[in-house]
Amino acid sequence: MIDQTIEDTIIAVSTPPGYGGIGIVRLSGRDSLKIAKSLFRPKKRISRVPPGRAVLGNLVNLESNEVFDEAYLLYFPAPHSYTREDVVEISCHGSPVVMEEAVRLGIKAGARHARAGEFTLRAYLKGRIDIIQAEAVDDLIRAGTVETARRVFGQLDGKLSKKIGEFRAGVIDILAQIEAAIEFPDDRLFVTPERIINSLEKMIVLMDDLMASYDVGKALIEGVTLAIAGKTNVGKSTLFNAILEDERAIVTPYPGTTRDYLKEKIKIKDVYFNLVDMAGLGKAGSSVEREGIKRGKRIASLAEGLLILLDASRPAGSEDLALLEEFRSKNVLILFNKIDLGRKMDITKIKERFGQLPSLEISALRGTNLGRLKKKIYEIFSPKIENRENVIFHMRQKLLLEDVLKHLKKGRDLLIKGHTEEICAEEIRKTLLFLSQLTGEIRADDVIESIFGRFCVGK
């Protein structure tokens, strides 16, 4: 992962792939400016490139003397740059052709193409950012929405680091109590196992709370998964397509399509939703159908929200009721579909029976109430983030916090079972190790490899 080539000057397109308004090509390393000058010609003659100030010029292929784009050049001399090395950013038009040409010329002039995550790796190694911040940078690139960006910026400021720091301090405090009791047995410190169990309990509650925020974080980054459930022929696919149709402009194809279900990403206001259309969950005839239903139910139970679709033009069947009964404890929106065909279903009775579940009458085919549906989806399923100061975004962060929790709980349980304090202390000490891994203070190279391995090139 890291070797002598870390001294090279690297270059890469640092905006996401595809067409965009503006594209940025970034260089980092000691020859950044020299290499940039070989493909960039300022419009006005300047004696030297001023640090941190945009210089207008042209991108030029010196061999053919061809100008291929107009661009701005920004120069950040070390250590006042993202990587703490000399960095040059060239902002040009976001055409892949233009940017690729710039990178090609840069490589010809002596740069090396950056590997995945290499800019951030350099920033990390130079002490510019801690691991949580490094992960936040990755999210910033991916974040499509305002709310996400705000969260991520919060994390860049070290907000989560601060929270983790607080936990760390709390755990240290508990450990200090235990250690004091061990080191000074003659002083009457009144640190009883009961008191330690109590403090541990409080810490565990706080930690559980932070863990719960993982779901919010996941939703912000990956989107909320909504499954459309219902027996066959209630209009699931029609609804799926109707919502997609309406959102076509901002829908991106999601690479999760399988034989069993269709998955598409839509955006309502500032939140992404992954809409899943799957096989009907009614009575199964063949064994193939049974298998499909089994899988469908698993998807339904894993989804963060369910749209349960009923055919209002027919009386409610036992399958409809069974489905509602099975998932009533989940986050559900009942949709009475096909109202254009008349209401044969006793909607009032169902509403009474499942009173706590919100519902809406629609016609997927005619597009009736689709606007209200989206509004409801947003209201019901978008992550509730008002009171969340800190959101755990990453699986790695979650796993480490799980380790912390595991050892805190084990420490508590050991004391409850009557084991002595120094054994409990072993568990608590472990949590410190994990907490500091969260803020990158204890660096194990496998941690770093896993982080930087998943980074896109050139951030």
Residues binding other proteins (CB under 8 A): 1-4, 6-7, 122, 125-127, 179, 182-188, 417-423, 425-426, 442-443, 445, 448
User: From the CB of 375, what's the least distance to other proteins, in Å?
Assistant: 51
Name which of 1 and 146 has its Cβ closer to other proteins: 1
Least separation, in Å, of the C-beta of 426 and other proteins? Answer: 6
Per-residue three-class SS string for the chain: CCCHHHHCCEEEECCCCCCCCEEEEEEECCCHHHHHHCCEEECCCCCCCCECCCEEEEEEECCCCEEEEEEEEEEECCCCCCCCCCEEEEEEECCHHHHHHHHHHHHHCCCEECCECHHHHHHHHCCCCCHHHHHHHHHHHHCCCHHHHHHHHHHHCCHHHHHHHHHHHHHHHHHHHHHHHHHCCCCCCCCCHHHHHHHHHHHHHHHHHHHHHHHHHHHHHHCEEEEEECCCCCCHHHHHHHHHHHCHHHCEECCCCCCCEEEEEEEECCEEEEEEEECCCCCCCCHHHHHHHHHHHHHHHHCCEEEEEEECCCCCCHHHHHHHHHHCCCCEEEEEECHHHCCCCCHHHHHHHCCCCCEEECECCCCECHHHHHHHHHHHHCCCCCCCCCCCCCHHHHHHHHHHHHHHHHHHHHHHHCCCHHHHHHHHHHHHHHHHHHCCCCCCHHHHHHHHHCCCECC
- Closest approach, Cβ 305 to other proteins, in A, equals 42
Closest to other proteins by CB, 263 or 407: 407
By C-beta, is 161 or 390 nearer to other proteins? 161
In angstroms, what is the minimal distance from the CB of 33 to other proteins?
Answer: 20
Q: For other proteins, which is the closer residue by CB, 181 or 333?
A: 181
CB of 12 to other proteins, least distance (A): 18
Min dist. Cβ of residue 417 to other proteins (A): 6
- Least Å from the CB of residue 11 to other proteins: 17
As measured in angstroms, the least distance from the Cβ of 74 to other proteins is 24
Residue number, 69 or 421, with CB nearest to other proteins: 421
Question: Is 193 or 230 the residue whose CB approaches other proteins more closely?
Answer: 193
Q: Whose Cβ is closer to other proteins: residue 352's or residue 445's?
A: 445
- Toward other proteins, which CB reaches closer, 381 or 455? 455
